[in-house]
Structure 1
Amino acid sequence: MTQSLASKSHEIREQIVDGVAALEGTDPLELPPLYDVVEPDALESIFSPTISGTARVGRIEFPYAGHTITVEVEDEPVVRIE
């Protein structure tokens, strides 16, 4: 099952943790720390605009809490959980 997330949060890390918690039907605090698999600040900075303001584009995929997380950015970040 794949779920794309529409989240109120602009922070990718929150979208991931909240999305996995929703899929699992659990509290986000019950999940393992995201930093066990990826550096959250680095994840945010990878897709932040450049110093000149140019948007970055890209894709990253990693395992978290038994799911495959895919973050793709073109105009806005899209987080998918499988």
Structure 2
Amino acid sequence: MMGANPDLKPSVRVVQAVAESTGISPNELPPLYENIDPETLDTLLMRSSNLERIKFDYQGYSITVGAADEGTFTVDLQKKKETAIC
């Protein structure tokens, strides 16, 4: 789990966390909007007082973004297991 950074929006934190975990530059990752609307993610977590976390998949990870303290967020990455198709 990555710690909170009050200077970054949740959507930016997600991309940075995945980049750090995979060793791929954030600019080389597919756009986050292919999996979730970044503006909606940011708005929901930054403006909703009763929303604790949002969970979605991106780049082979199950990602949970949660509100920590007011204005700060945590990003938890869980590598998804690959399933073989026979």
Pairwise TM-score range, normalised by the shorter structure: 0.7 to 0.9
Change (3 A) 1:6 1:12: same
Query: In the alignment, what sits opposite 1:47?
Result: 45
Preserved contact between residue 47 and residue 56 of structure 1 (Cα < 8 Å): no
Cα deviation, residue 74, structure 1: 4.3
> For residue 70 of structure 1, what is the amino acid of its counterpart?
T
Q: 2:76 aligns with which of 72, 77, 80?
A: 80
Structure 2 length normalisation: TM-score? Answer: 0.75
Unaligned 5+ segments in structure 1 are none
Unaligned 5+ segments in structure 2 are 79-86
Over aligned residue pairs, what C-alpha RMSD do you find?
1.9
Preserved contact between residue 15 and residue 79 of structure 1 (Cα < 8 Å): yes
* Aligned length, in residue pairs: 76
Q: 2:11 aligns with which of 13, 16, 35?
A: 13
Query: In the alignment, what sits opposite 1:32?
Result: 30
Deviations 1:23-51 (A, max 9, x none): 1111111111100000000001101235x
Q: 1:62 aligns with which of 39, 48, 56?
A: 56
Identity of aligned residues (%): 32
For residue 47 of structure 1, give the secondary structure of its aligned residue in structure 2. Answer: helix
